[in-house]
Amino acid sequence: MLEIRLTNAAKRFQYDWIFRHLDLHAKPTDKIAITGSNGSGKSTFLKCLAGINPFTEGETEYSLEQRSISDNEVYRHLSISAPYMELPEEFTLLELLGFHFNFKTPYQGIQLKEMIKVMYLEDAINKQVSHFSSGMKQRLKLGLCFFSNTSLLLLDEPTSNLDRRGSEWYQELVHAYGQDRTIFVASNDPGEYEFCTEHLSIEDHKIKKSR
Ligand X SMILES: Nc1ncnc2c1ncn2[C@@H]1O[C@H](COP(=O)(O)OP(=O)(O)OP(=O)(O)O)[C@@H](O)[C@H]1O
Q: Count CA atoms within 13 Å of residue 171 on its CB side.
A: 11
Length of the chain: 211
- Nearer to ligand X by Cβ, of 43 and 150: the residue is 43
- Nearer to ligand X by Cβ, of 13 and 99: the residue is 13
C-alpha to C-alpha distance for 67 and 168, rounded to whole angstroms = 36
Size of the site for ligand X (CB under 6 A): 10
C-alpha to C-alpha distance for 88 and 101, rounded to whole angstroms = 14
**Residues 8-47: x where in contact with ligand X by CB under 6 A, - otherwise, as a string:** -----x----x-----------------x-xxxxxxx---
- Nearer to ligand X by Cβ, of 38 and 102: the residue is 38
C-alpha to C-alpha distance for 3 and 28, rounded to whole angstroms = 6
DSSP annotation of 163: -
- 169 burial type by CB count under 10 A (0-12 exposed, 13-18 middle, 19+ buried): buried
C-alpha to C-alpha distance for 19 and 33, rounded to whole angstroms = 16
**Minimum separation from the CB atom of position 32 to ligand X (A):** 15
Q: Judged by CB under 6 A, does residue 100 bind ligand X?
A: no
**Residues 44-73: x where in contact with ligand X by CB under 6 A, - otherwise, as a string:** x-----------------------------
- Nearer to ligand X by Cβ, of 46 and 152: the residue is 46
- Nearer to ligand X by Cβ, of 138 and 151: the residue is 138
Residues that bind ligand X (CB under 6 A): 13, 18, 36, 38-44
